[in-house]
Amino acid sequence: MNNQSLQRAAMISEHLAPTSELNMNQTSAPIKTAKEELADFVEIFPILTNEILKELPGMDMPPQTIAWVEKMINVNVSGGKMNRGLTVLHSLQLLVEGRQLSRSEIFLANVLGWCVEWLQAFFLVADDIMDQSITRRGQPCWYRQANPISNNGTIGSIAINDSFILESCIYILIKKYFRNEPYYADILDIFHETSYQTELGQLLDLTTQPNRGDFSLFTLNTYRRIVKYKTAYYSFYLPVALAMLMAGITSTPAFSTAKDILLPMGEFFQVQDDFLDCYGSPAVIGKIGRDIEENKCSWMICQAILNGTPEQINLLKKHYGLDNPTDVELVKKIYGEIGLKKIFKDYEDESYAFLISKIKSVRIMPQEVFIKLLSKIYKRDL
């Protein structure tokens, strides 16, 4: 458990609304610190993994296949910061304002939180293959790890099938724990829908890989659409929407309101990621940024094109998208000349103000749901 997660967890505590003792009841769970909540969340992961694995012998799977699935799940599902997963419980706590959650409700919220983590794992394993990435969370990407069964070679393209298995795990867990809940069908539909949205976002990203030096596709409109679909739906909207379903919220306007706030918040988060890819410390962000080398449609290059002089843009066309330290330094130098750090700071402040004003006008659900999320991401330099 790294310091960044603890700092974020501490931030969460500051925003927890005080609970009136008058609303306590015998079925409610004791109030817990953010650290304890995190421990509770982590604690159920082996339980859920076991629910999946224990079905496999009955399906005539040999021991080495079961061991493969187990390792694949452990490597790819746990090990992240789990912010998306934790958001389900945190949102639910705020949505049922006025009462404490029961132990059962907390458990179920955390199960859905893990389903979100599983969903992300499914996409990350596949994305790493398609991007031919090298490392993920400080270790080799799954497809590049040693094949645990054959003594030579890497997992390679078998990882494609593994990503499908990660996806299937989601529906095994949902069926086991939610089959008798009135919102079961809605949960299935929202996972299907979010998967589709994320895949559409990936398609937009894959087909916005222009020839090097061609900047016609690097526009903020293109960028916003990719981010909305590829990241914002599953990272911001899905966890809150699941909590809303658990809270019994069914009105379409409520989900539209959530979408109107959470999708822009997701964009804001991704812009930060793009900024940190270029200016963040590798030791803190957990990876070496390569957006420039890989010719990515990053917010940074979009803004540079919008704000640069024709000479600067021509230089960028010459040097952007080349995996060469000299070219990368030249691009960063031009970013410095254009003043992208200040442009980012201005964007950050404007986005914050925009989001706050939108949140303040919400009447259909507690504003704290969104304020808490925003507080986790605003001015992060992690």
Partner 1 sequence: MNNLKKNDKEVLEEFANLFPILLNEIKKELEKIDFPKESIHWIETVIKANSTGGKMNRGISVLESLESLNEGRALTRHEIFQAQTLGWCVEIFQACYLVSDDIMDQSLKRRGKPCWYKQKRPNSDQEVGLAAINDSFIIESCVFILLEKYFKNESYYLNIVELFHKTGFQTQLGQLLDLTTQPIRGDFSSINLKNHTRITEYKTAYYSFFFPVALAMLMSKINHEQAFTTAKDILLPMGVYFQVQDDFLDCYGSPEVFGKIGRDIEENKCSWMICQAILNGTPDQINLLKKHYGFDNPTDVEIVKKIYKEINLEKIFKDYENTSYNFLIDKIKTTCIYLPPSVFLKILSKIYKRDK
127 classed as catalytic: yes
274 classed as catalytic: yes
Q: Are 78 and 3 in contact (CB under 8 A)?
A: no
Q: Are 129 and 159 in contact (CB under 8 A)?
A: yes
269 classed as catalytic: yes
Indicate which residue of 40, 131, 186, 327 is catalytic: 131
Known binding residue 270? Answer is yes
282 binds partner 1 (CB under 8 A): no
Indicate which residue of 128, 205, 277, 291 is catalytic: 205
Indicate which residue of 274, 277, 344, 372 is catalytic: 274
128 classed as catalytic: no
Which 3 state secondary structure label does DSSP give 1? coil
Which 3 state secondary structure label does DSSP give 165? helix
Q: Are 302 and 223 in contact (CB under 8 A)?
A: yes
State the minimum distance, in angstroms, from the CB of residue 368 to partner 1: 30
Selected from 7, 27, 65, 251, the binder of partner 1 by CB under 8 A is 65
**Residue 178: partners with Cβ closer than 8 Å, 6 or more residues away:** 108, 111, 184, 187
Selected from 29, 56, 254, 382, the binder of partner 1 by CB under 8 A is 56
- Of 329, 324, 331, 132, the residue nearest 215 (C-alpha): 331
- N residues, the chain: 382
Indicate which residue of 123, 269, 275, 344 is catalytic: 269
Choices 17-25, 26-34, 189-197, 269-277 (CB under 8 A): range interacting with partner 1: 189-197
d(CA 279, CA 332): 9
Indicate which residue of 127, 128, 162, 277 is catalytic: 127
Choices 29-37, 85-93, 169-177, 348-356 (CB under 8 A): range interacting with partner 1: 169-177
State the minimum distance, in angstroms, from the CB of residue 192 to partner 1: 4
Of the pair 67, 285, the CB lying nearest partner 1 is at 67
Of the pair 62, 336, the CB lying nearest partner 1 is at 62
Instruction: Tell me which residues in 209-248 interact with partner 1 (CB under 8 A).
Output: 225
160 binds partner 1 (CB under 8 A): yes
Q: Is 162 exposed, middle or buried (0-12, 13-18, 19+ CB in 10 A)?
A: buried
- Of 39, 48, 91, the residue nearest 245 (C-alpha): 91
Known binding residue 4? Answer is no
**Residue 337: partners with Cβ closer than 8 Å, 6 or more residues away:** 312
122 classed as catalytic: yes
Cα 326 to chain center, whole Å?
A: 32
158 binds partner 1 (CB under 8 A): yes
Binding residue positions for Mg(2+):
127, 131
| Residues classed as catalytic | 81, 122, 127, 131, 136, 205, 230, 269, 273-274
